[in-house]
Amino acid sequence: MKTLFTEAQRRALYEARLPESVIDILRDHVEQRGTVDEAISDFEEWRDKVMHLPGGAKPKASDLVAELRRWKPKPHAGNTTVYHATNHDTAEFMLKNGVIPQMKPWTLAARRFAAGEYAEFQPGAGVERGIYVGSAPHVVSGFGHVILAMKVPKQWVKVPAELKALGHHHSDVEGAMETEHGGLVKEPIHPHAIRRAH
């Protein structure tokens, strides 16, 4: 499927506090260290220093710590269960750290979408930051070997932009979660709200 997104849609979906090159470095560091807390600890050691990063970005270490603290999921109540399929390593990371939308790697379609270029997308390669979910394990089973169940507030589940662009009504979340595109959760999900589905 192909679609062209408007400037307003892109702005609504991508509100970055730091340049994407810096987000990439933070994401890589969290993956290397294993937890957000360990990455925060590393950057706290250099709190007042300016970091000289690839791409010319020069954030203060304290800005990186503040960004990583925003990433940490906070405990929340959940009244609906959604399912997400992924690989073993990503599942283990989510079970330990929770779901951190910023940790989702950018696909080529997502980068083009953010830049205002023509964006192609397909199920399993969405263009939004967040986690794509389905209503039952069988709906997501084709997207990974490990299926996770997540308890989230029902209002957190949205219709993804790519489905809206195809004419899917923005309020039909249940319908979206039955499709191969799924629903979208953009909020951080605390690890206590995640379990293996089977």
Task: Give the model confidence (pLDDT) of 92-122 as tens digits.
Answer: 999 999 999 888 777 777 777 777 777 776 6
Q: Are residues 110 and 34 in the same domain?
A: no
Q: Are residues 124 and 82 in the same domain?
A: yes
Distance CA 41, CA 47 (A): 10
Assigned domain for 2 exists: no
User: How many domains in the chain?
Assistant: 2
Assigned domain for 42 exists: yes
Q: Which of 54, 71, 88 is the last residue of a domain?
A: 71
Quick one: pLDDT at residue 122? Answer: 63
Q: Are residues 121 and 187 in the same domain?
A: yes
Q: Are residues 45 and 86 in the same domain?
A: no
Assigned domain for 5 exists: no
Report the mean per-residue pLDDT for the chain.
80
Q: Are residues 88 and 63 in the same domain?
A: no
Assigned domain for 90 exists: yes
Q: Are residues 48 and 85 in the same domain?
A: no
How far, in whole angstroms, is CA 171 from its chain's centroid?
21
Q: Are residues 85 and 32 in the same domain?
A: no
* Domain of 188, in residue numbers: 73-196
**Does the structure show a pLDDT above 70 at 127?**
yes
Quick one: pLDDT at residue 160? Answer: 83
Q: Are residues 113 and 163 in the same domain?
A: yes
Residue with more model confidence, 74 or 164:
74
Percent of the chain whose pLDDT exceeds 90: 25
Q: Are residues 45 and 63 in the same domain?
A: yes
Percent of the chain whose pLDDT exceeds 70: 79
Assigned domain for 6 exists: no
Q: Are residues 149 and 100 in the same domain?
A: yes
The answer to whether 27 and 68 are in contact (CB under 8 A) is no
